[in-house]
Structure 1
């Protein structure tokens, strides 16, 4: 199972393993990043990793991965992603879903996309496709990385042996938030359309 292989990779190679797992996870490989962060926190609680170094490596890995995604999108654009996206697990369905989110929520999708599996991997790509300046991209991506790292690493430290159970709950709960947000957005959009029709009529 990919999760077990990944965790074994981190346990063996430490900071280097954590760094590269995050870099390749952010650009689209199906790696469980929340689980990875909480596992890193668990290793900190056991004294196998140091907290400050783990935070620094996690921030570096996630931001470099996001930056790679940004420049791929900036340089090659949507046609190449549609043609070759499956090679990095970016199916047309994922691209379409992420594009809808990006159009509706704009720049904040880059910040909070970290917390939504299937979304965070492609928000940076769409920022690049949209030809943002790299400075603007960093302005929105870095706060998301900070919130994400300082949420899940301390959570893993606190939970210790229970980190895996809670990680699965967090994963399911996150998708619940996604569903609620989508439903509320659709309801708000329909109400807005009705109000516009009434004002025009």
Structure 2
């Protein structure tokens, strides 16, 4: 897989490579199964062989990431909360929205700052951040910072490991699985806590 991606990108002129990196970085926020992290690591390998340059690679991937994040953020801001209250979204209740808003009001900007490191939850974070009406400018700057630091890290790994990019991907997958497992455990705990509290509430 890595060799295929590497060979495919290496055959393109630098401008097309940058455009491809921007596309994958952007679409990963809209369609999470997109292998953007793998592609960016591969881009680091291309940097190590001087096919493309480090700074432009870091810039296009970071800009693509933050624009994708802010696209879902904007969609979240446009969702009419009255529709949620009426139960139009089966997966989202008014109570869940209230809890999300309280959560984001308490931890929101820290979550935005760390969103690139929370693999598998990035799209959810951006949508709920918009739904919770976080400050646009502050959200943009923190999401950009998060994207910049994360992409700097994985591009550097690609440069350092060169042709051993498969090893980097293996570590990224392990990291993603750990983060996802922790996220699921936390979600289950919060859901159980919610139902237990509701069960203890005195009936009217």
Name the TM-score, length of structure 2 as normaliser: 0.70
Change (3 A) 1:184 1:74: closer
Q: How much does 1:166 deviate?
A: 1.9
- C-alpha separation in 1, matches of 2:182 and 2:33: 24
Task: Write out aligned runs for 1:8-27 (5 A).
Answer: 10-11=9-10, 12=12, 13-27=16-30
- C-alpha separation in 2, matches of 1:115 and 1:169: 13
Q: How much does 1:10 deviate?
A: 4.2
CA contact (8 A) 1:111 1:144 kept: yes
Q: How much does 1:110 deviate?
A: 1.8
| 1:60 matched to 2:28 | no
Q: How much does 1:47 deviate?
A: 1.2
Q: How many residues align?
A: 176
Q: How much does 1:9 deviate?
A: 6.0
- C-alpha separation in 2, matches of 1:5 and 1:131: 42
Change (3 A) 1:69 1:161: same
Change (3 A) 1:31 1:9: farther
Of residues 124, 127, 134 in structure 2, which corresponds to 1:125?
A: 127
Bigger radius of gyration:
2
Q: Please list every run of 5 or more consecutive structure 1 residues that lacks an aligned counterpart in the other structure.
A: 85-91, 94-98, 191-201
Q: Please list every run of 5 or more consecutive structure 2 residues that lacks an aligned counterpart in the other structure.
A: 93-97, 194-204
Q: 1:159 maps to what in 2?
A: 161
Counterpart secondary structure, 1:107: helix
- C-alpha separation in 2, matches of 1:158 and 1:101: 40
- C-alpha deviations, 1:154-175, integer Å up to 9, x for none? 0100000111222122221232
Change (3 A) 1:6 1:180: same
Q: 1:145 maps to what in 2?
A: 147
CA contact (8 A) 1:7 1:39 kept: yes
Q: 2:53 maps to what in 1?
A: 50
Name the TM-score, length of structure 1 as normaliser: 0.71
